[in-house]
Amino acid sequence: MIASSPTLTWTDQTVSFGDFNSQVEAGLIDLNPPHQRGVVHDNEWMSDVLHSAIYDNDIPEVYFHQRRRRGAEIRESLDGKQRCSAAVGYLNDEYAYTGPEPDEMTGRKFSDLPEALQNRLRHQCTLRLRIAQQTLTDEQIQRFFQKRQRAKKTTTGEHLNSCITSPLLKPFRELMAEDTVAAHLRTLARTSKRESHLEMVTRIARCYQELDKPDCSPSVLISWFVADGVDGDLAEMCELIRVTLETLVASQLKGRNSKPAYLSVAQYLASRCLDDGADLEQDGHMFNEDELEALREAISGGILDLSVDNGERGATPRAMANLAQYVDDFQEGSLEYAE
């Protein structure tokens, strides 16, 4: 028997690029709600969208729902932001068209086009909108977005960003905005392309609640991220993130921004450096200073490659085993660094 739940109803509407852009400028359409990813496609991809509009009049439909804000009904993007952004961005001179046809557009921004071609783009090229007549709940938005993305090249970080019901999303966003944390993230990965910073800090946090060999595969990570009570150790997870990033930045590990590298450091900190007698809230720290210093000295004294084959299957388990061995060798005085 199918569980009863409110059935979404949709209306379809076709609007010109010009009308759509006007609604975006007037604030009646929101292409950037929290669950949406940023614009990730390049000018060539966006130019292909324009080409399809000009020659085929066939851009796949885009989805919205309605949300009331300050007394007005706003259409909030659910899916298709990238296609919408291709149209809006071009009309606002944000990029030059790269396609070979029409040749009048090649290499030109919208303002450089003949008036007749500008009018054609504004008034004859269209988007097909599907608009939910209800305001979706956070749970419905999350489910809708992720179902629509399964067949697309969506990163784990983008999926995490769409999990707006997660008790971790807002705290992790606030943590990533801290000056020191933000600086460390920029050092390790200069830009948060496609939510890579959120993916990194979430994987690190998971190491606190699964000490041995944390399963950070995308499906497991996303399920954990939205689980009830996952924020029970929030302060400790945030501190693990801070110390992991600080330790990585000061290290000479090869590929220190790679998943095996940052997970191996996080797992080592969580499994071997925690101070059993310390209380973060009362004492202001949670790591044994001697163990922490041994790790930092071992990985900052010279270049270390965590990818060296040691019989472990998989890059991350291999890196974790190598890191533990390197720290032990350092403490014994037998560690040899790469030249």
pTM value is: 0.62
Triad 238, 213, 178: Cα angle to 5°: 15
pLDDT band at 293 (very low <50, low <70, confident <90, very high): very high
Residue 130 CA from chain centroid, whole number: 26
Specify whether the CB–CB gap between 172 and 104 falls below 8 A. Answer: no
pLDDT over threshold 80, residue 249: yes
- Distance (Å, rounded) from C-alpha 185 to C-alpha 238? 14
Structure tokens at 49: 């969208």
- Residue 205, both tokens: 């946090």
> Band of the pLDDT at 102, cuts 50, 70, 90?
confident
Of 116, 146, 176, which residue sits at a domain end? 146
With a cut of 80, say whether residue 39 has pLDDT above it: no
Are 218 and 304 in a shared domain?
A: yes
pLDDT of residue 323: 94
- 321 and 177 in a single domain? The answer is yes
Given a cut of 70, whether residue 153 has pLDDT beyond it is no
- Do 180 and 126 belong together in one domain? no
Q: Tell whether 2 is covered by a domain.
A: no
Number of domains in the chain: 2
pLDDT cut 70: percent of the chain above it: 92
Q: How many residues does the chain have?
A: 339
Average the pLDDT over 263-269 and give the result. 95
Q: Using pLDDT thresholds of 50, 70 and 90, give the confidence band for residue 328.
A: very high
Q: Both 323 and 210 in a single domain?
A: yes
User: Which domain, by its residues, includes 313?
Assistant: 159-332
Quick one: 300 and 201 in the same domain? yes
pLDDT for residue 171: 93
Mean pLDDT of 140-168: 77
Residue 151 belongs to some domain of the structure: no
282 is written with which tokens?
């009362």
Q: Which domain-ending residue is among 122, 146, 170? A: 146
5 lies in some domain: no
Check pLDDT > 50 for residue 2.
Answer: no
pLDDT at 1 over 50: no
Whether residues 199 and 111 share a domain: the answer is: no
Note whether 179 and 99 are same-domain residues. no
Q: What is the mean pLDDT of residues 270-284?
A: 81
Domain assignment of residue 268, yes or no? yes
Q: Final residue of a domain: which of 146, 178, 197?
A: 146
Q: How far apart are CA 278 and CA 292, in angstroms?
A: 14
115 and 217 co-located in one domain: no
Residues 174 and 93 in one domain: no
